[in-house]
Structure 1
Amino acid sequence: MTESPIAERIDAVLRVGPDANAIEFDGRWYSWGDLAATVDAVRDAVREAGGEPGAGGEPGAGVEVGVLLRTRPGIVGAMLGVLCAGGCVVSINPGRGAQRTREDVAGLDLGILIGSSDDLAALDLADMNGATQAVTIAVDDLGARITVARSAGEATVPAQRPGIAVRMLTSGTTGPPKRIDLSYATLEHVLIGAKHYESRAAIEEPQLRRGVALMNSPLTHLGGLFRVLLSVNDGRSFAMLERFDVDGWVDLVRRHRPATSTLVPTALRMVLEANPDPADLSSLRSVVCGTAPLDPADGDEFFARYGARVLISYAATEFGGPVAGWNMADHERFWDTKKGSVGRVQPGYDLRVVDPD
């Protein structure tokens, strides 16, 4: 089987330094070896449950796998495991409550469902009137043993979406929430485009990089998904917040001293209102801000107070990620005269203004 470049890269990075720190969560560090153990276990379980070889030539390739996306290390490993199997991650948000999640799962007709033991138990799958999944995979702590369970009766043939990496539920930017198919090719393009904000070339050879990235967006959001993929692609460890709060974010910045972080406009406004000590945020040179329009005055206030430039990223799930944005060089040169702009169009995209408003 020919693996996708994303799967090959993930697998290569996971083998570089298994004892080194990979993910910090709730005061605990998990190693790259811990992450690799969960990725490998989930990949093998998906391939075993995937039935006959899919379009990619291997069991599991193209198979739709529902993932209950809590923003926790174990679920990060599960998501990467599905991608390494060549499968399709179907995003499910358990934070919407058990009843709405049950309704979501029942309407998806999935043959494989992954989540924490608690989230799977809360769904009461055996009582879902025929919507029971053929295979469930419980993933709790990163590096710990996973639990695979198969329902009684005739095996379900998992649905397939060859070439699709993620079916991501939109946030409603362009209309009612719906699932958008993001292909493996799209994710690869976005990972290349992300370097626009760093003004640096991608590292070709797998290696572990210094510094710690911050992940404070949920996995159910495109920003959280891309932060995980970008960090692993680059071999950079990252610190996770299950839910954003100002004190938790400031603590991560103070301890890990990153040069850049991400904040949605509402979170940036929360930080301004909380008014943390500028010394705690002194490492920041930039903050990437997207998902909603940014008031330029907030960007100016943040820069004046903390010395970090706020770089707008214009993106939506429907677009498959960012299509335009600011980097440091553009901000230094053009912000005073073009503030409010979505920035420079990224390579591979053409934009057209259809309404001045």
Structure 2
Amino acid sequence: MNRSDTAEHDRTDPRGDSDFADQLRVHLAGYGELPFIEFERQWYSGDQVMRLIEDLMQVLDHAGIPDTAPIGMVARNRLPHAAATLGLIAARRKVAMIYSYQSAQSIARDIENLGLAAVIADRDDWSDTTLNAARHVGAAAIAVTTTPLSAEPLVDPAVPCQAPGVHMDEPGLSILSSGTTGPPKRLPLRVDILRHTVTSMTMGATGGRDDPPELVYWPFGSVGICQLLAAPFLDKRMVLLEKFSVAEWVRAIKTYGIKRAGVQPALLRMILDADVPTEDLASLESLPGGSGPLEPELREEFESKYGIPLMWAYGATEFAGSVCAWTPDDHRRYGAHKPRSVGRPLPGVRVRVVDQDTGEQLPTDEIGYLEGQVDVIGPDWIRTTDLASIDADGFVYIHGRGDGAINRGGFKILPESVRAELLRHPTILDAAVVGIDDRRLGQVPVAAVELRSAGDPPSEDELKQLVRDALPSHHVPVSIRIVDALPRNAAWKVKSAEVAALWTATH
């Protein structure tokens, strides 16, 4: 079979086959008095992190929580949550991540529905509403804090009431999808799958405690867990940011001489818009990226200014991380000729492109739906809603989301093509294009745009003409609105449903 029809790449995992939880436990214990995690510009030693983990385990033991019982984590990118998550994985516990960036009522609903024996949350997230939810289902409520670094029980467990429960047959994490097109979905990742999650990001990198630290800011509740696991996996320190900000991201890179850090398109635009001095990023050798398509114009603008290669990858929560990525060797050999590619499949991964209707595999360079098979997850091929093609060298190209296509009176519109034209306007920082219902045509496209910090705002007619000049007329949005900021989730992905609500709420 032609490798471009079902692409796979022969890259080896240098870490071997030892149990991931055992390896993590050894690495966590090895930091000792040395600095391990910087949070809010203060370093915490390995011993401090381990003491919190031991305190948490004692609280669980005193509450009588069985080793096999699921535990909820209202996940925030804060020091005690990082310590607790690492400790629970190392202890082979079953952990269900609960989205923290939602209302107290929504957190309470998750607590009531997941059938948990205990719930760990920041003291800030324990309100009367969430505490009552824990009492109602008989779950132990445990509060963690940074100052002091501690874990303490707030509600003792009781006889649990009936709840649907989270489905976890084996130890590991139940994480949330990004929720960009609807409510986040919950997916279980066994401990052995977490090895793939972290290796898909570290890409065979090695390190030690004297090396520059890992920079961690993706939300733990999702597949961003790979950033958190990377540091102890590589025996490195980490700088933990609760949320991304250009100032703190740049400070960490400049202060510690960081050589690589994950990015996504919105963050690149923010860095460019902030006009970060080139010398502040001089230590960076490359920037791996993902979480959305990288427009060639954005790549060219960033790489021209900073001289830092962008090594784009492709993955999904369903795949427990990346399935395709660039290696330094591939980038040196092919990068200049394949700037739109997301690289080739990682070790233990196969990808193919299939016809939407027949499911038949498509040949080289033809566009269809991407399917992937990851050895550690299982033998089944997982169908995505992403449109892709594979070239003769096995490199994968993503062409947008098939499920996001807008059907305007029988004419199909890919939102990415309209968005790409809007981004050509020099005042636009980012844009989102979605379809809304229309009585006559079924659907019509609309667009929301976020402006750069400087420059006069363009008129709606000016932006429509920009699209009209480049694409067939049915691509022109019926309405374009300027917004202060596009609605995003904690991973900086735009929430399409909330963009559409800007119009549907007025109808």
Aligned with 1:45 (options 43, 56, 59): 59
On the 8 A contact 1:34/1:142 being kept in 2, the answer is no
Query: Percent identity of the aligned residues?
Result: 29
**Could you tell me how far apart the structure 1 residues matched to 2:157 and 2:173 are?**
28
Task: Using the TM superposition, give the Cα deviation of residue 136 of structure 1 relative to its aligned residue in structure 2, in angstroms.
Answer: 1.5
Letter of the aligned partner of 1:85 in structure 2? Answer: A
Q: Kindly tell me: are residues 50 and 352 of structure 1, through their superposed partners in 2, closer, same or farther at Cα, counting changes over 3 Å? A: farther
Task: Using the TM superposition, give the Cα deviation of residue 132 of structure 1 relative to its aligned residue in structure 2, in angstroms.
Answer: 3.8
Aligned equivalent of 1:267 = 267
Question: Does residue 29 of structure 1 match 2:34?
Answer: no
Equivalent position SS for 1:106: helix
Higher relative contact order (CA 8 A, sep 6+): 1
Report Cα offsets for 1:167-208 as digits up to 9, x if no partner: 111113686421011111111223334342xx54x57xxx63
Report Cα offsets for 1:242-290 as digits up to 9, x if no partner: 1111112111111111010111111111111211000000000111111
Q: Kindly tell me: are residues 272 and 221 of structure 1, through their superposed partners in 2, closer, same or farther at Cα, counting changes over 3 Å? A: farther
Aligned equivalent of 2:122 = 116
Aligned with 2:195 (options 188, 198, 218): 188
Equivalent position SS for 2:173: strand
Give runs of aligned pairs for residues 193-232 of structure 1, distance below 5 A.
193-196=200-203, 200=205, 208-223=209-224, 225-232=225-232
Give runs of aligned pairs for residues 144-183 of structure 1, distance below 5 A.
144-151=149-156, 153-154=158-159, 161-172=168-179, 176-183=183-190
**Could you tell me how far apart the structure 2 residues matched to 1:142 and 1:340 are?**
46
Gaps of 5+ in 2: 1-17, 356-366, 368-386, 388-507
Aligned equivalent of 1:256 = 256
**Could you tell me how far apart the structure 2 residues matched to 1:134 and 1:293 are?**
41
Count, aligned residues: 338
Aligned equivalent of 2:336 = 336
Q: Kindly tell me: are residues 311 and 49 of structure 1, through their superposed partners in 2, closer, same or farther at Cα, counting changes over 3 Å? A: farther
Report Cα offsets for 1:91-123 as digits up to 9, x if no partner: 111211212222222221211100112212354
**Could you tell me how far apart the structure 2 residues matched to 1:156 and 1:23 are?**
38
Q: Kindly tell me: are residues 350 and 142 of structure 1, through their superposed partners in 2, closer, same or farther at Cα, counting changes over 3 Å? A: farther
Letter of the aligned partner of 1:238 in structure 2? Answer: M
**Could you tell me how far apart the structure 1 residues matched to 2:64 and 2:93 are?**
9
Q: Kindly tell me: are residues 152 and 93 of structure 1, through their superposed partners in 2, closer, same or farther at Cα, counting changes over 3 Å? A: closer
- Structure with higher Rg: it is 2
Aligned with 2:141 (options 133, 136, 141): 136
Letter of the aligned partner of 1:35 in structure 2? Answer: V
Aligned equivalent of 1:19 = 33
On the 8 A contact 2:145/2:151 being kept in 1, the answer is yes
Gaps of 5+ in 1: 52-58
Equivalent position SS for 2:218: coil
Give the TM-score of the pair, scaled to structure 2: 0.62
Letter of the aligned partner of 1:141 in structure 2? Answer: T
On the 8 A contact 1:258/1:283 being kept in 2, the answer is yes
Aligned equivalent of 1:245 = 245
Q: Kindly tell me: are residues 116 and 348 of structure 1, through their superposed partners in 2, closer, same or farther at Cα, counting changes over 3 Å? A: same
Task: Using the TM superposition, give the Cα deviation of residue 27 of structure 1 relative to its aligned residue in structure 2, in angstroms.
Answer: 1.5
Letter of the aligned partner of 1:120 in structure 2? Answer: W
Report Cα offsets for 1:37-62 as digits up to 9, x if no partner: 112222343355465xxxxxxx414x
Aligned equivalent of 1:295 = 295
Aligned equivalent of 1:99 = 105
